[in-house]
A and B are shown apart, each in its own frame.
Chain A
């Protein structure tokens, strides 16, 4: 081997290594940058962040969660990075994670001027997180069913034995929904509901999306899913309808799962972070998310919505404190694990 070849090889390697190292550095960049960790599905969140980049000139560097496989857990990355934060903003796809981050001291308070019109139930009073663009937990029902179920208690009714399906309650919005029921009903009644549901032969699916597909295919009569899963299947022309459950006065109401945005304590780019939070909490963002495939319900009044959705002020909402739901969620994890494996 000639010495010249060796030197060329080493130079190429060193230059590539420097480029490689430099390519991941954000702290020293001169142009404005904001680092956001995102748990909302990438297909829906990325276009919003791209629009923010275009409109503000602030470069967005994002880490996305893998909602279905649960292998990354950007929330865990945030907890791991608590003493050395890399992110400025966290866009959670439900407020429970935001509450847990508040309890763990990862988030910082910020009351965005754009959040004034958002109902109080959907935001932390001290500004540690603010909700926007929500999903409702609805029943997706196969159109071939004559008498539609209108309450989640249908899961325990004998006429639906073996005809219902629910996503694995260890993950996602289903966990939050079960935790909300434990908070709303109390442990005993919620436990009785869960046992009755199991006795009634409920099937488990890997995700809400799979549940919705099972119902659309006629394998099951109904399932509790997120409103976006139901709207998606309706837009695809599949034979399903969407029911907002428990809307009668003596019933618990529909559990609403808003997105939540929060500022990270010790964020490296606080100014840009606030701009992004304001942007996400704007009516324009809610409008875009309502008309995107995720079909999320705006929390601001007077935001236009697609025909498949119902305005938030016309839905009877399950009145729960999301902080309590978050605490309950952690508490019932072993219970849910047992419930799944039994």
Chain B
């Protein structure tokens, strides 16, 4: 077991961490790149912009996401699942598609485009994209609050006061995690601010990379983002992880306390419908209007059908590999058979929070040698990128699922002489199969929407649909781009809806 799990960790470290370390060492080698970069006022101005944007996005998603999570996860609001799924859509598609959609909407309605550009536009789009994170985490962690505590609160106080004084303080670590994730993702996001003309620090690294052709400076420019990610990962590991990675209690449907909205349900429903219209229906509606009739979609499929199929194929293979690695990493972290196992979870989270382009640049500089063509000249390099970036997701989901399996089950099998592989195959995997499937679905959706890793690493002629759209955006007809965006949204949303339906069916059946 130890050898097998150690191999898994070693592979992950070799694929993800070693290239980053090699890149950082290389960045510190040259003479004056770092001093000249950080001595510039421009650098600090961009950093200020980034921190302002990331902070505003974090605060806004926090203020909107938590009430949304409570209404959708804790009350008897009608059509809850429908709304949850609607709000999830912007997170499932590449963020620039939402920006394109809003830009189309402004153009069609004759509104001045400069209203959408700069900080306000970037803030609005990123809030709509990352809003589901605090919403979902709130909803999930509301189930970890023991109902007895809320019942005790309800004896002396109203629901709002109970939520404020009992429930929310108990899930504070999860809310802080959501804030942390949103902050880091917004800090590393470049496509939306770039599209909407707001200069942020994440763009600096790309400018150094694409405009100045300066690899050392590009790497140096990535260092603050790496440091931010490292710092916040350490904080998460130190203060939050133990309280949220393995929930001590998860309320089942029959014991979970739900708030009755009563007469307020219709006004809440109206508010929810308005929010859904603003964040989801309007941008998608504008894309649908811009795309036109069925002919546009047929043309879009003709232009990018191969890229769509490739996206599904990459998602299938990538998600399978990620689930495999994530499952055993989660197991390793739960059981901690050796000390080094403690470090793997924060390292994976660190990689997840790093901008994809930083990982991409690191992988190119590390693997691009004649002796490693077997990786670099094939799609394996893309798979390595996905592994480095997204294993944290499958590992965390697996960890949470594995924690639900009573250790006594494995111990009983061990007592009867079953070896580790036998215990895994006959006990642990069957008991956690739904969690494994969930991890697979999440991984495949993230790979389907990925652009930052794929666009840097795809072998010639093997692009995916998000990359195809991105490369066609320069001078492509707006109608074609809109129909491709709709195809992209459908490619992510339809499988997500099927998975959602299946999990709901399974949950009800159970």
Contact = CB atoms under 8 A, between A and B. Distances in A.
Interface of A: 1, 3, 6, 13, 16-17, 19-27, 35-37, 41-44, 60-73, 75-77, 79-81, 83-84, 86-87, 100, 170-171, 175, 206, 209, 228, 232, 293-294, 330, 333, 337-338, 341
28 contacts: A1-B430, A20-B379, A20-B383, A21-B378, A24-B377, A24-B379, A24-B380, A27-B373, A63-B460, A64-B463, A66-B455, A66-B470, A68-B474, A69-B191, A69-B195, A71-B191, A71-B455, A72-B210, A73-B209, A73-B210, A75-B213, A76-B215, A79-B213, A84-B373, A86-B376, A175-B211, A228-B475, A232-B475
B475 A209 contact: yes
Contacts of A81: 368
Given A62-B460, A76-B213, A83-B370, 7 more contacts: A1-B429, A23-B379, A41-B475, A66-B470, A69-B195, A77-B364, A86-B377
A137 B317 CA distance: 47
Given A6-B425, A80-B368, A24 B210 contact: no
Nearest to B428: A1
Nearest to B379: A24
A263 to B, nearest CB: 16
A296 to B, nearest CB: 12
Contacts of A22: 378
Contact of B321 (A17, A25, A37): A17
Nearest to A333: B212
B390 interface: no
Given A16-B317, A17-B321, A21-B379, A71 B206 contact: yes
A144 B452 CA distance: 43
Contact of A341 (B45, B195, B211, B430): B45
B350 interface: no
A57 B73 CA distance: 59
Nearest to B42: A341
Interface string B209-242: 1111101000000000000000000000000000
B207 interface: yes
Q: Is the interface of A mostly helix, strand, loop or mixed?
A: mixed
Interface string B145-189: 000000000000000000000000000000000000000000000
A11 to B, nearest CB: 12
Contacts of A64: 463, 471
B317 A86 contact: no
A26 B459 contact: yes
B429 A70 contact: no
Contacts of A175: 211
B320 interface: yes
Nearest to A72: B455
B314 A42 contact: no
Interface residues of B, number: 60
A66 B473 CA distance: 8
A196 B248 CA distance: 67
Contact of B473 (A3, A27, A69, A330): A69
B471 A65 contact: yes
A42 B472 contact: yes
A42 B472 CA distance: 6
Nearest to A337: B42
B460 A26 contact: yes
Most buried by A among B199, B324, B455, B474: B474
A42 B477 CA distance: 12
Given A42-B471, A68-B473, A170 B211 contact: yes
Interface centre among A80, A232, A293 (most CB of B within 10 A): A80
Interface string B348-375: 0000000001000000110011100100
Nearest to A340: B199
B87 interface: no
Given A16-B316, A26-B460, A43 B472 contact: yes
Interface string B37-53: 00000100100000000
B130 interface: no
Contacts of B470: 66, 69, 71
Contact of B369 (A6, A43, A83, A341): A83
A271 to B, nearest CB: 17
A211 to B, nearest CB: 13
Contacts of B426: 1
A68 B378 CA distance: 27
A66 B460 CA distance: 14
6 closest Cβ pairs, A-B complex: A24-B379, A61-B461, A73-B210, A61-B460, A24-B459, A67-B474
Contacts of A209: 474-475
Given A25-B377, A60-B461, A86-B460, A171 B321 contact: no
